[in-house]
Amino acid sequence: MTLLSVNLNKIAVLRNSRGGDEPDICKAAQTCIESGCGGITVHPRPDLRHVRPDDVRALGALVRGRVEFNIEGNPFAGARGAYPGLIALAREVRPNQVTLVPDGDGQITSDHGFDLDRDIDRLRPLVEALLELDCRVSLFVDAGSKNFANAVSLGVERIEIYTGPYAQACIEGKPRTALAACVATAKLAHQSGLGINAGHDLSLTNLAAFKAAIPHLAEVSIGHALIGEALYDGLAATVRSYVQILGEDSSLE
C-alpha cells in the first residue's frame, strides 16, 4: 500500500490570511490521522508565508509515534528571523523523513527538482547532518532525472518525483508522455535501490492512474488539491477517498 502524507501548508495559509489560530493546524492533522492517512507533511519557508516553525514543533509532538512526519524544505536557505533553517529545525523535531527541495524565496510553489550532477557536492554535508539525526532523506527530482547512483552515494534513501507536469498534462487530456517520463524515472531510481515518493498537484482525478503505473510507489505527499477538494466534501471524507485509492491493488503486471 502506498502511504498518503497530507501536506497541511494550505491550512496555515488560510489561518495566516486572517491572523489568530483558526483554522487550527493541529486539529486538521488530527482529523487526517483519524481518517487513515499515514503521514503529515509540512514545508516551512524562511518568509513564514504558511507553515511556521512553531507549527512544525507542535505537529512533531502531535504525530510522534502515530504516523510519519515529513518536513520539506530548501536545505540551502539559512536562518532568518523566527526561521532557524531546515537542518536546525529537523534537529529540534527529529522527523521521520526530510525531503530536500531546491525552491527559492521567489517561487510561489516548488517547480523543479535537484540536478543530480551539479548539486551533489553541495548536498553532501547537509545530507550527512540529517543522517546523523536518523532522518530518512528524500531528494525532490524532475521526471527524466538520471544518475541516481550519485544520490545513493550520499546516503539518500528515496527520491520524490515532481509530478506537476504530469498533473498539467492530465488537465490538458494528454497524460501519456508525462506519465511515461515519471515511470521511467521511478524504474531507474528503483534499480539503484532508492524508494519512490511523488508529489505536486496529484489529486483524486489523476492519482489512480499514476499509482497503477508505478508499482513501487512508496509514498505520495498531497496538499493543495486535497485541501481544495475538502472544501466541497469535507476533510475527513476526502482523506478517506485518497486512502481508498492508494489501498487498491491497481499495479500493472
For residue 216, indicate whether it is catalytic. no
pLDDT of 103 reads 78
Is the model's pLDDT at 45 over the cut of 60? yes
Q: What are phi and psi of 221, to 5 degrees?
A: -110, 120
Residue 186 lies in a domain: yes
- Percentage of the chain lying above the pLDDT 90 cut: 92
Q: Give the number of domains in the chain.
A: 1
Residue 155 lies in a domain: yes
- Percentage of the chain lying above the pLDDT 70 cut: 94
Q: Which of 190, 200, 219, 229 is catalytic?
A: 200
65-79 mean pLDDT: 95
For residue 43, indicate whether it is catalytic. yes
Least confident of 59-63, 115-119, 129-133: 115-119
Least confident of 74-78, 159-163, 175-179: 74-78
Residues 6 or more apart in contact with residue 224 via CB below 8 angstroms = 7, 9, 10, 109, 201
Q: What are phi and psi of 71, to 5 degrees?
A: -110, 125
Residues 6 or more apart in contact with residue 87 via CB below 8 angstroms = 75, 126, 129, 130
Q: Which of 26, 43, 42, 45 has its CA nearest to residue 34? A: 26
Query: Per residue in 5-16, pLDDT tens?
Result: 999 999 999 999
pLDDT of 110 reads 67
For residue 72, indicate whether it is catalytic. yes
Q: Which three cell numbers stand for residue 160?
A: 520524490
pLDDT of 95 reads 98
Domain CATH code at residue 150: 3.20.20.70
Is the model's pLDDT at 186 over the cut of 50? yes
Is the model's pLDDT at 89 over the cut of 50? yes
- Classify residue 87 as exposed, middle or buried by CB count within 10 Å of its CB (0-12, 13-18, 19+): buried
Residue 253 lies in a domain: no
**Regarding beta strands 3-7 and 39-42, do their DSSP bridges make them parallel or antiparallel, or are they unpaired?**
parallel
Q: Which of 50, 72, 160, 219 is catalytic?
A: 72
Residue 252 lies in a domain: no
Q: Which of 22, 228, 13, 42 has its CA nearest to residue 108? A: 13
Q: Which domain holds residue 24?
A: 3-247
Q: Which three cell numbers stand for residue 210?
A: 499514476
Q: pTM for the full model? A: 0.94
Q: Which of 43, 50, 190, 224 is catalytic?
A: 43
